[in-house]
Structure 1
Amino acid sequence: MKIIFTSALVLISVISGVSQEKAINYKELQKMLPSSIMGYSPSGDPDGSSFEMNGMSYSTAVQDYESGDSELTISLFDYQGAAAMYSSTTMAWGMGMSFEDDEQSAKGVDINGSKGWHVYQKEDHTSELMVGHMDRYLITIVVTEADQEKAIEIFKKLDLSKLP
């Protein structure tokens, strides 16, 4: 009986150690989006949402920006309470994958220790970047009418120190 009781205590402490904090509310995440960046100004109000179910949670905040004919979208996802979703999204990025054809080029990137996936659509000059940050956040940048490295340049200008 003592072995079963001890095993139950160990199991409970393991489960407790696995439980995660909740993602921050989307309204707080929206405050972390830049008011303007690299000549891009917001077009409209930010969007966002928070989701919670069975101890899992995530939040999103999205802002669209404009600069001339170029459009920019920055999305922040907080996967603090959904580690499995975060891990499955970012797992392959550090494996050195790359792809190129006549329409696009795609490759894994490492930006200041944050792993990501960068895609450049050659025909419509769209630079897309997804970066995993602090094993919690997923930052997505999509910019149209841009050169190949524009999304990476914008990512480097984000003030990520505001993220908890």
Structure 2
Amino acid sequence: MKLTSHLILFGSMVMAVTSCNFVSKAKETAENAQNVAQAAENIAKSGETISKRVEARRAKGDTLAMPYKELANFMPSGVSGYEPAHDPAGQTMNMQGFSYSSYEQEYKKGEESTVKIQLIDYNAAAALLSMSTMALATGIEMENESQITKSWNPGVDDVKGYEEYGKQSKDAKVILSVADRFFVQVSATNQPNTDFVKEVAKSIKLSDLANH
């Protein structure tokens, strides 16, 4: 009887542990599903916000992207320790129902490292901006053996972003959405982390862009 009692007790403990594990796994699955659903909802809301802002600008007659040469006014005057790798590049495209302009400058530090700053005005190309910054709406945070990706707040009103770092490639990048209109990307090679690209991104006139 004593052995039987022990077996019953052991069986009860196994069932309890199994039950706890099942509940834990079920809870984890439910939380993951909830996170995915929340991310999808955030993406949808972000798309709606961008569309509303586009409509508000259209109502004021602001329907075109600014000329690319004007985008240059928001760029930093330079990058400390780096020199221009070549002349800046820019373009503006306007057609019915579609308008964007871009401006970029690349810098280098000898053969050691390069940094590129890209600024795009998606005033009448909201769908492109939404696709380019979709990860911002998900509150993304991911790390594996080769890469770290997570949200980043530069501390400027109406500006949201995220950062990426390649552990093996040593490539660093930050991407920002400004006032649901401007797309900013700063990328650099041979970096120990994302601190440098964040510093460069903050040297861009983000507040001026957000208030444009």
Taking the aligned partners of 2:197 and 2:150, their CA distance within structure 1 comes to 13
- Contact kept? 2:76, 2:203, Cα under 8 Å: no
After the TM superposition, which residues 10-29 of structure 1 pair with which residues of structure 2 at under 5 Å, given as runs?
A: 17=59, 20-29=62-71
State percent identity of aligned pairs: 33
- Contact kept? 1:90, 1:115, Cα under 8 Å: no
Taking the aligned partners of 1:162 and 1:126, their CA distance within structure 2 comes to 28
- Contact kept? 2:74, 2:204, Cα under 8 Å: no
Q: Alpha-carbon deviations, 1:64-104, whole Å to 9, x = none? A: 00124110000000011222322232233132212211111
Residue in 2 that maps onto 1:49: 91
Task: In structure 1, list runs of 5 or more residues that go unmatched.
Answer: 1-13
Is 134-143 or 100-109 further displaced after alignment?
A: 100-109
State the 1:109 CA deviation. Answer: 1.8
Residue in 2 that maps onto 1:11: none
The structure where strand makes up a greater share of residues is 1
**What TM-score results when the alignment is normalised by the length of structure 1?**
0.80
Distance 1:80 1:41, change over 3 A: same
86, 106, 118: which is aligned to 1:75? Answer: 118
3-state SS of the aligned residue for 1:155?
Answer: helix
77, 92, 96: which is aligned to 1:35? Answer: 77
Give the structure with higher Rg (CA).
Answer: 2
Question: Do residues 122 (structure 1) and 167 (structure 2) align?
Answer: yes
- Contact kept? 2:186, 2:201, Cα under 8 Å: yes
Residue in 2 that maps onto 1:160: 206
Residue in 2 that maps onto 1:135: 180
Q: Alpha-carbon deviations, 1:34-89, whole Å to 9, x = none? A: 23123222111001111222232000101000124110000000011222322232
Question: Do residues 61 (structure 1) and 107 (structure 2) align?
Answer: no
3-state SS of the aligned residue for 2:197?
Answer: helix
State the 1:141 CA deviation. Answer: 0.5
* Structure 2 letter corresponding to 1:107: K
* Structure 2 letter corresponding to 1:133: V
* Structure 2 letter corresponding to 1:94: A
Taking the aligned partners of 1:96 and 1:160, their CA distance within structure 2 comes to 21
Question: Do residues 107 (structure 1) and 125 (structure 2) align?
Answer: no
After the TM superposition, which residues 139-154 of structure 1 pair with which residues of structure 2 at under 5 Å, given as runs?
A: 139-149=184-194, 150-154=196-200
- Structure 1 consecutive aligned stretches of length 4 or more whose deviation exceeds 6 Å: none
- Superposed CA RMSD in Å reads 2.2
* Structure 2 letter corresponding to 1:110: N
Residue in 2 that maps onto 1:87: 130
State the 1:117 CA deviation. Answer: 2.4
The structure where helix makes up a greater share of residues is 2
